[in-house]
Structure 1
Amino acid sequence: MALIAFCMLIFSIDYNIVYVALPEIGREVGFSAQSLQWVVSAYSVGLGGALLFGGRAVDRLGARNMLILALALFAVSSLAGGLATSPGLLIGARVVQGLGGALLFPATLSLINTQFEEGPTRNKAYAVWGTAGASGSIIGSMAGGVLTNYLGWASVFYVNIPLCLLAMVATYSVISSDAKAADSRKFDIPGALVATGASTLLVYGLIAGPENGWTSAKTIGALAVGLALGIAFFVIEAKTKDPLAPPRLFSYRSLVTAILIIFVFQGAINTLHYIFFIDLQTVMGYSPLQAGLAFLPMSALAMFGSGKVLPFVVQRWGVRWALFGGLIGVGISMIVLAFSMTESSSFYPLIPAVLLWGLFAGTLYPAMFMAAGSDAAPDEQGVASALTQTSAQIGGAMGMAALIAVATSGLDLGEGATNPVGDVLDGLQTSALVGGIAAIAGAFLAFRIKSQKASAGQDGAGADSTPATEDAKVPVG
């Protein structure tokens, strides 16, 4: 469990550490103001595009093998990123880091679902996994500011190398070989290629839309081809003998519900990040390091939500209520943030929203993957988690694009603007309100998961013989 948590920590740090370094990267490497966002977005394109392929590779080739490969990709691409001297090289390195994440993420979840006994033991493992992810956001924000300030932007890439090497050595010694468990059936190459192309183009189109324009040929072409490939993928999967994503997975109610909920959640949470950092730096005038430190209370509460609140709620009331309460709380935190933002430089009015945000997001995030894997067989865990995280990437890109459009609608920030800071603030408040209402509405999806209330002494599976309708089969009493 320590190794799985450490790997999840690496994944989370790598995702968060570059934010504070972005201004220096832009100056030193030669990014324009319009292209700098691709330092972040390139990772999302690589991750979102390859997740489904990575999840099935974990199922077929073994979680241990794919975890080692993922760590190797992280290490090599981090070295390349630190040495990059042009935007193209750095963007390429970030795409490869995303590919590493597409293997590492489903590998950690597969190990949890196959190495830990169902029930309280597995619930605790999910809690530790979620806590590691939340702590990575703390360490990433702090380390990014400190490393950039004292050692330069390249250090945020180099720091991954010793961490990955240590994790690779530990993987060899702690996890037994996949030789006996690995699935040797034919790998669905056509399905993998089409799924990767569809996910990559959809994520790319949604990320590039605000920059290129939603009516531009690039945006429309990427989204149209991505959608066509997505339809083609389902046709291929229905006909192939060994599909990448077996169609039966979409009959698992808990998995489908988790996919829908994380789609809504990630759109809300990505927008929260955007609103929070823009408000701190553009409206309130904080430095990047100050903004990173302001992120700490949220991350600390997220760790508490994952480590303490989630196991209690799941054991007492089940996964369904963890999902419902978590998404309701995220929505409320967005609405509270909307009414808390002012042109003042004081951070104190934002604290209630930040604490609610961290607590409920930290509780909700592991619960979604707990629900996603509850119905799947051991050889389906990788692809189940990959489907869920792919939905997160697409939902995050789509939700943030839509809500940023709300935030910037009608703004005039040119030389003739009378109050540009106030205009930005008005847009952020409107975006937060819309996102909060959408999150609260999406919370009711949780009731698609049938509640299970097992009596004392009952095993979790006995209450309902239909796997797709159980609430993660949690024994009570």
Structure 2
Amino acid sequence: MPSTMPQAPRRRRPGAILALLAFAQLIISIDYNIVYVALPEIGSGLGFSAQHLQWVISAYAVAFGGFLLLGGRASDLLGPRRMFAVGLVLYAVSSLLGGLAESAAVLVAARAAQGVGGAFLFPATLTLVSTKFAEGRERNRAFAVWGTAGGSGMILGSLLGGVLTEAFGWESVFLVNVPLAGTAALLAFVSIAPDASRADGRSMDVAGALTSTIGITAVVFALVQGPESGWLSPAVLATALAGAALFAVFVVIERRSADPLLPLRLFTNRNLSVGTAVTFLYMGTFGTLLYFLTVYFQGVHGYDALTTGLAFLVPMAAIAVGSQTAGRLATRHGIRPVLVTALTVGGLGAVIVAATMATGASYVALIPGLVVLGVGQGAGYTLMFGAATLGVAAEERGIASGVASTSQQVGGAVGLALLVAVANAGLDGLGGRALRAATTDGLRTAMVIAAAGIAATALVALGLRKPGVKPNTEQVTEGEAQAGDRPAVHV
């Protein structure tokens, strides 16, 4: 006679979940940088003009930044597992489209679609990390693994891009994502428990979604196009003003909405407010350094794509060490002191790298600075997103993650635009040895300014909630419920 006893749900292995989330973060990070070293071949292969080639990069950044809030809220309303899978499927399909593209317009459209996929995938991944693992040691370890994948993936993308482009052509930097993202999407339904049904009557704030998505997209467009077209060009000015106006309308809508896309009360959580500011400043400083190092290796020392990728192996290893160390130290000492220390170490590394940059310097001379910089960068990346979501209710961590990651994208665009202008000042009309010397001087200046910005970021991070103070929330995460207790927040 068959048993009528209800069957207990099969427990998912946390190690398998964490491995999948780290793998997804690795895909995002690799995809962000993998096309950089392939740009010359893409330009010649598809007939891009020098003016329009930047949109292979910018289309991704604009779409990613513009859709992040929508992606975060969709994760809250529709479930993070669903949006995790949707984002990965978008990545796979758009990567296939990019790899098969035979015109510049199709490739730019594919990059924009990849950005939309990332905007749904990134907040869902952050939400799953913060809800599937209990606060404290378990979650710190999860963020350490996730951060290692993200930080290392940014540099691994440069290496992989060089290898694939040289061996198989530029198309391979897109096609490699198809099996990776497709496999991860399938594994999501095996490794991650189904999303809980939501019967609370919440609905999507359509007006808020439209104004925020279009407004942020317009602002990010202006930021990435400004250095190319000029900050006072009619197109850039009109787009920036339209974006600012739409964002103002968005704030009014959110104040009046009964079920807003972005509940403004979330910003009364000091950790979210401070964490968002830290993320903005981090990407405006640390997030730009990969670009300047690439220019230094290729423009000053003449490295090819593969050699440039190999040059990033040292900082990649240092980032991995920093990420893993940060998780253990945060469990013991709290997030705030470890994050501040990490930022301080990273700023010191940026100063050391700047001091050792020279037209005749060897790669070996850069290694000490790259190691110190990588350790601080990896540790900071691991901790800043975890700090931003502390004290946020479980059902709102998707939109909180969207806020933090939107500040990440905008901060990176602002920082890169400002620091590129500093680095490129005085280069017009130069050539040969004089150009190399002036380029090195500009890069050093940009690195020093970035170091000053990192120091300011460390000061902002001091505003995180003090250790031992519980956030204002009564929510229990899935991991905390399984653990059977409510550990106090240790920031």
TM beyond 0.5: yes
| Structure-2 change in CA distance of 1:221 and 1:255 (3 Å) | same
What is the aligned counterpart of 1:37 among 21, 46, 54?
54
Q: CA deviation at 1:374?
A: 0.6
Which residue is equivalent to 2:5? Answer: none
Cα distance in 2 between the residues matched to 1:74 and 1:465: 36
Q: Which amino acid is 2:355 matched to?
A: F
Answer yes or no: is the 8 Å Cα contact 2:270–2:465 preserved in 1: no
Which residue is equivalent to 2:238? Answer: 221
Q: CA deviation at 1:261?
A: 0.7
Answer yes or no: is the 8 Å Cα contact 2:275–2:387 preserved in 1: yes
What pairs up with 1:299-448 in 2 under 5 angstroms?
299-307=316-324, 309-344=325-360, 346-414=362-430, 419-448=434-463
Which residue is equivalent to 2:208? Answer: 191
Answer yes or no: is the 8 Å Cα contact 2:136–2:489 preserved in 1: yes
Cα distance in 1 between the residues matched to 2:272 and 2:335: 12
Which residue is equivalent to 2:97? Answer: 80
Cα distance in 2 between the residues matched to 1:297 and 1:418: 28
Cα distance in 2 between the residues matched to 1:373 and 1:171: 23
Unaligned stretches of 5+ in structure 1?
454-462
Which residue is equivalent to 2:176? Answer: 159
What is the aligned counterpart of 2:220 among 203, 207, 221?
203
Cα distance in 2 between the residues matched to 1:62 and 1:335: 43
Unaligned stretches of 5+ in structure 2?
1-17, 475-486
Q: Which amino acid is 2:79 matched to?
A: G
Q: Which amino acid is 1:160 matched to?
A: N
Q: Deviations over 1:54-109 (max 9, x none)?
A: 00000000011111111110011001101111211111100100000001111111
Q: Deviations over 1:137-190 (max 9, x none)?
A: 343222211211111110111111111221122111222222524865121011
Q: Which amino acid is 1:413 matched to?
A: G
Answer yes or no: is the 8 Å Cα contact 1:62–1:183 preserved in 2: no
Which residue is equivalent to 2:299? Answer: 282
Q: Which amino acid is 2:41 matched to?
A: E
| Structure-2 change in CA distance of 1:436 and 1:137 (3 Å) | same
| Structure-2 change in CA distance of 1:286 and 1:237 (3 Å) | same
Q: CA deviation at 1:23?
A: 1.2
Answer yes or no: is the 8 Å Cα contact 2:140–2:328 preserved in 1: no
* Residue 22 (1) aligns with residue 49 (2): no
Q: Which amino acid is 1:244 matched to?
A: L
What is the aligned counterpart of 1:110 among 99, 109, 127?
127
Matched residue SS, 1:419 = helix
Q: CA deviation at 1:34?
A: 2.4
Q: CA deviation at 1:278?
A: 0.6
* Residue 176 (1) aligns with residue 204 (2): no
Which residue is equivalent to 1:456? Answer: none
What TM-score, normalized by structure 1, do the two folds share? 0.93
Matched residue SS, 1:51 = helix
| Structure-2 change in CA distance of 1:138 and 1:405 (3 Å) | closer
* Residue 263 (1) aligns with residue 280 (2): yes
| Structure-2 change in CA distance of 1:182 and 1:311 (3 Å) | farther
How many residue pairs get matched?
Answer: 462
Answer yes or no: is the 8 Å Cα contact 1:59–1:182 preserved in 2: no
Which residue is equivalent to 2:466? Answer: 451
| Identity across the alignment (%) | 45
Which residue is equivalent to 2:68? Answer: 51
Cα distance in 2 between the residues matched to 1:183 and 1:202: 34
Answer yes or no: is the 8 Å Cα contact 1:326–1:360 preserved in 2: yes
| Structure-2 change in CA distance of 1:187 and 1:312 (3 Å) | same
Matched residue SS, 2:85 = helix
